[in-house]
Amino acid sequence: MIYLETEQLKCVSAVAKYGSFTEASYYLSRSQSSISKNILKLEAELGIKIFSRTTRSITLTDAGRELLPLIDEMLSVSSKIEAAARSYSIPAGHHLTVGTIYMGSHNHIESVVAEYSIKHPSVEIEFLESTTSALIPALLAKTVDVAFVSSMYLIHQEVNFQTDPRFISHTVLKDPYYLVTSHGHPLAAKAKIDYSDLKDQVFITTDKKMQVYHDAVFKVLHDHGISPKVALQCSSVRSVLKMVAENAGVAILSSLAIDANDKLAIIPFYTPLIRDTQIIMLNRPKIPVYIQSFYDYLSKKSSRRR
């Protein structure tokens, strides 16, 4: 009988994902020698070579390519079993600090958090609203246990925290950005917008603390030869929308943040920016059970509602 250890399977999956023992060691918080020993032990147990190793690279063998989907499937089942068990084993008295970006008034995440709180009354949850650029160092400093953060990119150009070995992350929400104008604005009649249409426009934005938003929006405008003129910076999305309704300028905003009314026109882009909201936690050898439980619940439930 063959005995498979979860740790061995995790090592194979990580090395296959990152193509490097170094990156896999960062991701798993294990030494490279430990990862290598686990893989060699599994190869000996199975009687095959999973990886082909040279001084410069490590690649999957034919057998490894066939086994990898099965290994990932086993790890997924193992994770689900652990998550189900954890949900019934959280002792009382835990305080969970959750950092979150502003997601807009139409998101489903808050409902899922409420469900979790009802099912786990022993966990006291504290919400801290901030920005991605502030929440990342807070997570690294362990002043925040879990965080909802965002990445922004043009559709089909996905780049998010899943490639950062410091964190464990899962996308819980994706929403496109729209152009918002007043109903009387010349662009309001367009069915769709190209960024080149915005060449002579005046913009209203949120304040610069929302760095991910500013970096993404300004980059896409600059890439289309536009040096945006910002008339107003507002501390809240509500203020941005009010100024747009008064025809003080146009805005580029998430669909979840826009409260439609008869004073606003909401126009999709041909190639929209996407806000990819992820739940992330610090990647460490021993994750406290109440943190892991919250992460697992939000990852699972949010994915079903996306």
Verify that 263 and 129 share a domain, yes or no: yes
pLDDT of the residue at 212: 92
- Cα 15 to Cα 20: distance, rounded to the nearest angstrom: 6
Long-range interactions of 17-24: CB distance < 8 A, separation 24+ = 18/165, 19/57, 19/58, 19/59, 20/58, 21/58, 23/165
pLDDT of the residue at 304: 57
- Cα 306 to Cα 291: distance, rounded to the nearest angstrom: 22
Among residues 63, 86, 109, which one ends one of the domains? Answer: 86
Q: Is residue 225 part of a domain?
A: yes
Verify that 141 and 72 share a domain, yes or no: no
Predicted TM-score of the model (pTM): 0.69
In degrees, rounded to 5, the angle at the alpha carbon of residue 91 between the alpha carbons of residues 85 and 93 is 145
Verify that 71 and 151 share a domain, yes or no: no
pLDDT of the residue at 260: 77
Among residues 86, 121, 143, which one ends one of the domains? Answer: 86
Verify that 104 and 48 share a domain, yes or no: no
Q: Which residues neighbour 64 within 8 Å (Cβ) at sequence distance 6 or greater? A: 12, 16, 49, 50, 51
> How far out from the chain centre does Cα 47 lie?
39
Q: What is the pLDDT along the chain (306 residues), one digit of tens a residue?
A: 788 899 999 999 999 998 888 888 878 878 889 999 999 999 999 999 999 988 888 999 999 999 999 999 999 888 878 777 766 666 666 899 999 998 877 788 888 999 989 888 888 999 999 999 999 999 999 999 999 999 999 988 888 898 899 999 999 989 999 999 999 999 999 999 999 999 999 999 998 888 999 999 999 999 999 999 999 999 888 899 999 999 999 999 998 888 878 899 999 999 999 999 999 999 988 898 889 999 999 988 876 555
18, two tokens: 């990152």
Closest among 302, 300, 292, 262 to 96, alpha carbons compared: 292
Coil, strand or helix at 61: coil
Residue 85 to residues 81, 113, 296, 297, Cα–Cα distance (Å): 6, 19, 11, 12
Domain, as residue range, for 289: 94-306
User: String of b and e for 229-250 (b: at least 16 CB within 10 Å)?
Assistant: eeeebbeebeebbebbbeeebb
pLDDT of the residue at 87: 62
Q: What is the CATH number of the domain that holds 27?
A: 1.10.10.10
Domain total of the chain: 2
Coil, strand or helix at 25: helix
pLDDT of the residue at 266: 95
Q: Is residue 1 part of a domain?
A: no
Q: What is the CATH number of the domain that holds 305?
A: 3.40.190.290
Which backbone phi and psi does 123 adopt, to 5 degrees?
-100, 120
Verify that 144 and 267 share a domain, yes or no: yes
Verify that 50 and 114 share a domain, yes or no: no
Verify that 74 and 12 share a domain, yes or no: yes
Verify that 102 and 190 share a domain, yes or no: yes
pLDDT of the residue at 9: 93
